[in-house]
Amino acid sequence: MHTYDTLEIKKGQHLHFTERFFIEKMIALGKSNRSIGRLLDRPHSTINNEVKRGTIKQMRIVNGKREYYYEYCAYAAEQQMADVGAMATFSFNTDFENFSVFKPNDYRKPTVDKMLDQLLNWTRALKSIR
C-alpha cells in the first residue's frame, strides 16, 4: 500500500485523480514513465497505459500556421475511463426470453460484459456530480 498526500492507494486499483495530476506534472518536468512509476509505487506499464489513455491532440498557432502536438492531460485521462466504446445489438427473438427477460446469446457475452463494465465506469465518473 502506498500513501500519496492523505490518500491511501492500494495496488490493483485504478489511478486516483491526484496520481494522474502528479503524472501530468512529472511529464511536464521531463520525467520518464519508469521514474514516475517508481515515485508512485506503480508498475511502469500502468504509467505507460495511463499516458496513452490521457494523451490528447492540441493545436497552437505559430507564425499564423496551425501546429498540432500531443500532450498528456490528467483531466482527459480521468474522463477517458468512462468512455464507452463497446456496442452491442440485440434481437428480441434470440436475446430475450418471452420478449421480456434479457438473456443474451453466449457469443454476445464478451461484448456485453465489456459494455456493462464501461457503463459502470461512467456511473462512477458521474457520481460526483449527482
pLDDT mean by block of 10 residues, the chain; 130 residues: 55 81 93 95 93 85 88 80 64 82 83 83 75
Question: Range of 123's domain?
Answer: 82-130
How far, in Å, CA of 70 to CA of 73, rounded? 10
Q: How many domains does the chain have?
A: 2
pLDDT, position 51: 92
For residues 8 and 48, membership in a common domain is answered with yes
Q: What's the whole-model pTM score?
A: 0.54
For residues 5 and 43, membership in a common domain is answered with yes
Sign of the alpha-carbon dihedral angle for 107, 109, 112, 115: negative
> What are the backbone angles phi and psi of residue 88, rounded to the nearest 5°?
-140, 140
Cell of 9: 492507494
For residues 56 and 9, membership in a common domain is answered with yes
Domain CATH number, residue 49: 1.10.10
